[in-house]
């Protein structure tokens, strides 16, 4: 992995819609950084947080990113993602904060969902504890409005009260995208610079900028088990149960999350372009395809956000 060269941009006056999205995101990152005391960037190792980090680097270049990145670590990680995270942090000279869900379980802050249970929902507690411990007052997230119907309703700045909860009926108006990041002590906000990006925009930007990604986004062969309509990778918390058949499949991931609930899709796409073609042709949303935790109920995402989720 190499840091991007100090390239000179095209001097012509035409701008694409990716340029417009990039500028909007950089503006949000700068505005929130200036408007609060202690921001942090939430970094999962997924493609959206990779793009978010890339935009933060661009926002402040040639200076360093003036805030740390935080990984909320479920302990159910793909090895490739942790290797990628550590390489990126070292490359950009970032300060990394790891908030551990395992530690929250050990400390009795949350119940252990068991060795094979999903820890996605429990992340909210770990996240809120870490925000309090480090006195962060704003957290950048890679959330996009096209991901889910509750996210589609969220403003660029999302206010969280002292308990970290989101109240969708009391969102601040943002006329002309003018952000109002003023908060009282103990409150914090989440900022979503990628609000107006779609999955396709993210991939086209990744291709254009050659943003480094964890290798699991590209097609590879892997041992998987069919469970609940998903292809789950064998490894870490996922072991084949009695009666389940393990097979080796050619797959890739559309999202990166807790191994126990993040499904793979069958794919031969090994390049950005092949992935873009696949995404453009897809008839199923990325969360619908690969996230068991969003399919529990009709308002799964809204419920989790009200509890303090990203």
Partner 1 sequence: MVATASNTQIRIATIGSVDDGKSTLIGRLLHDSKGIFEDQLSAIGRASKKYGDGSFNLALLTDGLRAEREQGITIDVAYRYFATPNRSFVLADTPGHVQFTRNMVTGASVSDVAIVLVDARHGVVEQTRRHVSIAALLRVSHLVLAVNKMDLVEWREDVFDAIVTDVGAILESIGSRVPLRPIPVSASNGDNVVESSPNTPWYEGPTVLGLLETLDIRADESSAAVLPVQWVNRVHGGSDYRGFAGTLHGGAIRVGDQVVVQSKGITTAVTSVRVAGSPADLAVPGDAIAVELADQVDVGRGDVIVGSGAPAPVVAAHIEADICWLGETDLRVGDRLVLRHLSRDVTGSVVAIGQRLDLGTLTAEDAEVLTLNDIAKVEIALDRPITATTYAQGRVTGSIVAIDPVSNGTVGALMITDAR
Binding-site ranges for partner 1 (CB under 8 A): 6-9, 11, 13-17, 19-20, 22-24, 26-27, 30-31, 33-34, 57-63, 145-146, 148-150, 152-153, 155, 168-169, 171-178, 180, 182-184, 195-196, 198, 282-285, 288-289, 298-299, 302
Which residue number, 132 or 153, has a Cβ lying nearer to partner 1? 153
Which residue number, 55 or 110, has a Cβ lying nearer to partner 1? 55
Task: Kindly state the smallest distance separating residue 101's Cβ from partner 1, in Å.
Answer: 27
| CA–CA distance, 106 with 101 (Å, rounded to integer) | 9
Are the CB atoms for 130 and 150 separated by under 8 Å?
Answer: no
Task: Kindly state the smallest distance separating residue 298's Cβ from partner 1, in Å.
Answer: 6
Task: Kindly state the smallest distance separating residue 15's Cβ from partner 1, in Å.
Answer: 5
Query: Which residue in 130, 126, 119 sits closest to 75, CA to CA?
Result: 119
With b for 16 or more beta-carbon neighbours within 10 A and e for fewer, the 230-255 pattern comes to bbbbbebbbeeeeeeeeeebebbbbb
| CA–CA distance, 159 with 188 (Å, rounded to integer) | 6
Task: Kindly state the smallest distance separating residue 246's Cβ from partner 1, in Å.
Answer: 26
Which residue number, 76 or 145, has a Cβ lying nearer to partner 1? 145
Residue reference for tokens 């040639």: 62
Which residue number, 73 or 154, has a Cβ lying nearer to partner 1? 154
DSSP-assigned states of every residue in 268-305: ---SHHHHHHHHHH--S-HHHHHBGGGGSSTTHHHHHH
Measured over the CA atoms of residue 270, residue 273, residue 279 and residue 280, the dihedral's sign is: negative
Which residue number, 18 or 234, has a Cβ lying nearer to partner 1? 18
**What's the gap between Cα 57 and its chain centre?**
17
Task: Kindly state the smallest distance separating residue 26's Cβ from partner 1, in Å.
Answer: 4
Which residue number, 153 or 162, has a Cβ lying nearer to partner 1? 153
Query: Which residue in 225, 221, 249 sits closest to 235, CA to CA?
Result: 225
Task: Kindly state the smallest distance separating residue 188's Cβ from partner 1, in Å.
Answer: 13
Which residue number, 71 or 151, has a Cβ lying nearer to partner 1? 151
Task: Kindly state the smallest distance separating residue 271's Cβ from partner 1, in Å.
Answer: 22
HSE value, Cβ hemisphere, 13 Å, CA-based, for 249: 19
CA distances (Å), origin 147, targets 111, 118, 151, 153, 197: 28, 20, 7, 11, 10
| CA–CA distance, 242 with 221 (Å, rounded to integer) | 23
């Amino acid at each position: 992995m190499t840091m991007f060269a100090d390239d000179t941009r095209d001097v012509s006056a035409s701008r694409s819609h990716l340029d417009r999205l990039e500028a909007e995101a950089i503006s949000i990152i700068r505005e929130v950084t200036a408007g609060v005391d202690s921001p942090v960037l939430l970094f999962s190792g997924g493609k959206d947080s990779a793009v978010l980090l890339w935009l933060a680097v661009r926002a402040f270049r040639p200076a360093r990113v003036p805030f740390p990145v935080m990984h909320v670590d479920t302990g159910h990680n793909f090895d490739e993602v942790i290797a990628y995270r550590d390489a990126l942090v070292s490359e950009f000279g970032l300060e990394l904060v790891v908030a551990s869900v395992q530690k929250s379980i050990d400390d009795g802050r949350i119940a252990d969902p068991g060795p094979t249970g999903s820890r996605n929902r429990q992340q909210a507690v770990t996240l809120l504890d870490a925000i309090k411990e480090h006195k962060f007052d704003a957290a950048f997230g890679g959330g996009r409005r096209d991901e889910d119907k509750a996210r589609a309703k969220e403003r660029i700045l999302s206010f969280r009260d002292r308990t970290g909860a989101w109240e969708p009926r009391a969102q601040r108006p943002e006329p002309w995208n003018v952000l109002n990041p003023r908060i009282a002590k103990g409150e914090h906000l989440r900022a979503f610079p990628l609000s107006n990006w779609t999955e396709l925009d993210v991939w086209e930007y990744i291709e254009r900028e050659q943003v480094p990604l964890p290798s699991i986004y590209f097609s590879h062969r892997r041992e998987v088990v069919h469970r609940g309509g998903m292809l789950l990778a064998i490894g870490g918390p996922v072991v084949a149960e009695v009666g389940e058949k393990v097979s080796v499949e050619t797959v890739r991931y559309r999202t990166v999350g807790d191994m126990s609930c993040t499904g793979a899709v069958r794919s031969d796409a090994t390049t950005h372009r092949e992935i873009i073609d696949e995404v453009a042709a897809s008839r199923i949303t990325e969360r619908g395809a690969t996230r068991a935790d969003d399919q529990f109920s009709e308002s799964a995402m809204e419920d989790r956000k009200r509890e303090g989720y990203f």
